[in-house]
Amino acid sequence: MRGVILAGGTGSRLHPLTRITNKHLLPIYDRPMISYAIEALVGSGVGEIMLVTGGTHAGEFLRLLGNGNEFGIDRLFYAYQEKAGGIAEALGLAEKFVAGDRCVVMLADNLFERSIRPCVEAFEKQERGARVVLSKESEPEHLRHLGVAQFDGNRKIERIIEKPAIPPSDYAVTGVYFYDHTVWKVLPELQPSGRGELEITDVNNWYLEHGLMEYDVLDGYWGDAGESIQAYYAVHDFVRAHGANRNV
């Protein structure tokens, strides 16, 4: 399985911090944010990784990461997204890298208290399709800013609703996604959303409509450090106190 880390976007929700650097290079406790996503994948046994980024600060990733060996990466590749066209468009840049293999996709501003290795291992055993990682969130106001899973009577996800006015459940979809080779047929069929971007939620809902989606609920803390300035500092404070990507 190959790993794809998405570290593009304008970072407008973290202005003015992102006027001087890419948001994924901002510090979380004692190291750059991007290093936690790398640690999560490498710690789960994913050794070949592509980093997709863009904007005027893209070269800073090369200065920080180099060939990736210092961070435990076997082989590190880079791709450049010329404009902010959405998560799904950024994933499309990794098609030749993944080369028909399965892939785990991680948004670089998502941080987890516990290791995602159980999710990686579950997808390796999954015959086909896709997989998402859910986190139970207790605040309805927070859920209104996220993608939220809607379940049927058998606790199967029937749809993912983006930024719902009335959240259909307490389970948010985190920024870790698993896909088989079918994803490369789905991406070209997507239509831009109202904000002019190709949405990863549309990819996930395609798999759901075809009965090809499984999920995990990961224990422990999950935070999206790119959601807002307040969220960024909340993630920073949690990691400082409790760490991240722990195996226990």
- State the pLDDT confidence band at 71, using cuts at 50, 70 and 90: very high
Backbone angles phi, psi at 59, to 5 degrees: -65, -20
- State the pLDDT confidence band at 10, using cuts at 50, 70 and 90: confident
Residue 175 identity = G
Kindly tell me the sign of the dihedral angle through the C-alpha atoms of 124, 126, 131, 137.
negative
Does position 103 have pLDDT exceeding 80, yes or no?
Answer: yes
pTM listed for this prediction: 0.96
- State the pLDDT confidence band at 64, using cuts at 50, 70 and 90: very high
| 40/11: higher pLDDT | 40
Helix (H, G, I), strand (E, B) or coil at 137: coil
Q: Which two tokens stand for residue 151?
A: 């379940």
Distance of CA 58 to the CA centre of its chain: 18
CB–CB of 164/143 below 8 Å?
Answer: yes
Cα–Cα distance, 115 to 39 (Å, whole number): 9
CB–CB of 46/19 below 8 Å?
Answer: no
For the domain made up of 2-242, the CATH class stated in words is: alpha beta
Q: Which two tokens stand for residue 27?
A: 């510090």
**The predicted structure's pLDDT at residue 107:** 98
Non-local (6+) Cβ contacts of 179 within 8 A are 102, 103, 105, 130, 203, 207
Give the pLDDT mean for 58-76.
Answer: 97
- State the pLDDT confidence band at 192, using cuts at 50, 70 and 90: confident
Q: Quick one: which of 174, 89, 178, 79 has its CA closest to 134?
A: 174
C-alpha Rg value of the chain to the nearest Å: 17
Q: Which two tokens stand for residue 42?
A: 């490498």
Element (H, E) at 214: strand 213-217
Non-local (6+) Cβ contacts of 145 within 8 A are 163, 227
What is the average pLDDT value for the chain, to the nearest integer?
Answer: 95
Give the pLDDT mean for 60-83.
Answer: 96
- State the pLDDT confidence band at 24, using cuts at 50, 70 and 90: very high
Cα–Cα distance, 150 to 161 (Å, whole number): 7
Beta-carbon neighbour count of residue 128 at 10 Å?
10
Backbone angles phi, psi at 113, to 5 degrees: -70, -40
Non-local (6+) Cβ contacts of 233 within 8 A are none
**The predicted structure's pLDDT at residue 248:** 75
